[in-house]
Amino acid sequence: MPPDDGEAPWEDAVFDPMSLHEAEFASRWLLRKMWEAKGLLEKARDAEVDANAALKDARRRAWYDQRCPKPERGGYTVADREMFVENEVQALELTAELAKPAARPPRIWSGRWPTRAWS
């Protein structure tokens, strides 16, 4: 921890002053970017939820499929049944896994304010 000499660390900082127009422009730009990010996150969330629902539905249908092996003594094992179910839902598992990273928030801040007029 730096020694406490009574001086605030930001006293030597240099800031570019903004006019009221520039501040309003930056505020609107940031609000628009946040609104766009919110929409992207909603779409990604919906895609992920839909993919997981489809996966669960396909897994449920595979369990009750006529071709699904029924475990019994001297016949099919639980591992055979699980392998059948996994083979049936393999494509949907990939879809659900690919939908997960899409739910990460997009980067909206580049580190500097825009320079063009807001449209």
pLDDT exceeds cutoff 60 at 2: no
Query: What's the pLDDT band for 116 if we cut at 50, 70, 90?
Result: low
pLDDT exceeds cutoff 60 at 1: no
Q: What integer pLDDT is reported at residue 59 of this predicted model?
A: 93
Distance CA 2, CA 9 (A): 10
Q: What integer pLDDT is reported at residue 119 of this predicted model?
A: 46
Q: Residues of 3-33 as b/e, b for ≥16 C-beta within 10 angstroms?
A: eeeeeeeeeeeeeeeeeeeeeebeeeeeeeb
Q: What is the pTM of this model?
A: 0.60
Distance CA 84, CA 75 (A): 15
Residues of the chain with pLDDT > 70: what percent? Answer: 76
For residues 20-38, give the mean pLDDT: 89
Are the C-beta atoms of 113 and 29 separated by less than 8 Å?
yes
- Mind listing the pLDDT tens digit for each residue in 54-92? 999 999 999 999 999 999 999 999 999 999 999 999 988
In 3D space, the residue among 55, 52, 58, 97 whose CA is nearest the CA of residue 68 turns out to be: 58
Q: What integer pLDDT is reported at residue 18 of this predicted model?
A: 80
CA-based end-to-end distance of the chain: 46
Q: What integer pLDDT is reported at residue 77 of this predicted model?
A: 92
Are the C-beta atoms of 93 and 55 separated by less than 8 Å?
yes
